[in-house]
Amino acid sequence: MRSNKKNLARNTKRDRLFIFFMLAPGILLVALFCYYPFLSGIPYAFKRYSLLNLSRTKWIGLKNFETLFTEKEFLQTIPNTIKWVFISLILQFTIGFMLALFLKNKFRGRGIYQGVIFFPWAVSGFLIGILWRWIYNAAYGPLNALLIALGLVNPANPIGFLSNLDTAFPSAIATNVWYGIAFFTITIQAALQGVPTELYEASEVDGAGKVYQFFKITVPYIRPVLILSTLLRSIWIFNFADLIYSLTRGGPGGTTEIMTSYMLNLIIFQSNIGKASAVGLIIIVLLLIWSTVYLKLSRFEEEGDF
């Protein structure tokens, strides 16, 4: 009996060591490329730090934050970011959910439809921005050519989708929606496959219709997936600066500038690492608050395991 306990303890210790050594490379990479840059970058937010003049680097406390909240350009990014995240998220989720329900059923050519829908997710956001910048181009873009062919646009006065103050931001959101639909379609379709068919069959026996099944069976069963996927996607949209940068670089006149693209422009065009770090710290705090409030209001901890 005592020897069995010793063998059990030895096996348990061996299993723990095996798990540790298997996880160690992943933990090391995350710590090296995520946590270390984040922690080492925090002090820069409280310094005057510019790559154009490293000799003037010094500790200035909250000066970078005070400067940001007095700049019209940065203040404009706050409502832009809110609209960018929530309009994109609602449209991506709604259309993605509808497509997932459509693709749940088996029909001829379903694989082709899935490939077409999932394709954008395999392309980087920077390339998506370049592609759609060409599509929106007023001189030779296919979208203007199509509208002219349909007689909706005067050939002498094509629409400058990305250069017009009224159309630039909606055009950027439309591009983001097109890109992000695939994420919700993939995740929701996978979750729908796990809903037991017995639940639908039993409800049909009781005379339940499709609408009742959707709100009383489908949505409650996949609710944890819906909560997590919308949270993750909202964070990714918030940080989706590469699409804005390659599409408009925040123009025209800052109408498409969001907080993350503003931070990117500070680094690339002004080399102002201190102010950019301050923006990054503000973004992290906002995302932490948003994630905490969202999970609390959605009562995710009460949903149980997947």
Task: Spell out the domain ranges in the chain.
Answer: 49-302
Q: Say which DSSP state 1 is in.
A: -
pLDDT band at 91 (very low <50, low <70, confident <90, very high): very high
Show the DSSP H helices in 31-167 as ranges.
36-41, 63-68, 72-104, 110-118, 125-136, 142-149
Q: Say which DSSP state 47 is in.
A: E
Computed over its alpha carbons, how large is the radius of gyration of the chain? 25
| Strands 58-59 and 47-48, sheet pairing | antiparallel
Query: What is the pLDDT averaged over residues 247-254?
Result: 88
Give the pLDDT score at 255.
Answer: 92
- Most distant CA pair in the chain: distance in Å? 92
Domain covering 49-302: architecture? Orthogonal Bundle (1.10)
Give the pLDDT score at 69.
Answer: 93
Residue with token string 């608050």:
289
Burial-class residue 234 by CB neighbours within 10 Å (0-12, 13-18, 19+).
buried
Query: What is the pLDDT averaged over residues 17-45?
Result: 86
Per residue in 134-189, pLDDT (tens digit) is 999 988 889 999 999 988 888 888 888 998 888 999 999 999 999 999 999 999 99
Over 90: is that where the pLDDT of 258 sits?
A: yes
- Distance, in Å, from the CA atom of 182 to the CA atom of 229, rounded to the nearest integer, reads 12
Determine what percent of the chain is predicted with pLDDT higher than 70. 94
Name the nearest CA neighbour of 84 among 206, 220, 175, 207: 175
Query: What is the pLDDT averaged over residues 100-115?
Result: 80
| Residue-averaged pLDDT of the chain | 87
**Do 215 and 209 contact (CB within 8 A), yes or no?**
no
Show the DSSP H helices in the chain as ranges.
2-30, 36-41, 63-68, 72-104, 110-118, 125-136, 142-149, 168-192, 197-205, 210-213, 219-221, 223-238, 241-247, 259-270, 273-297
Give the pLDDT score at 305.
Answer: 44
- Distance, in Å, from the CA atom of 143 to the CA atom of 216, rounded to the nearest integer, reads 42
- Identify which has the larger pLDDT, 162 or 3: 162
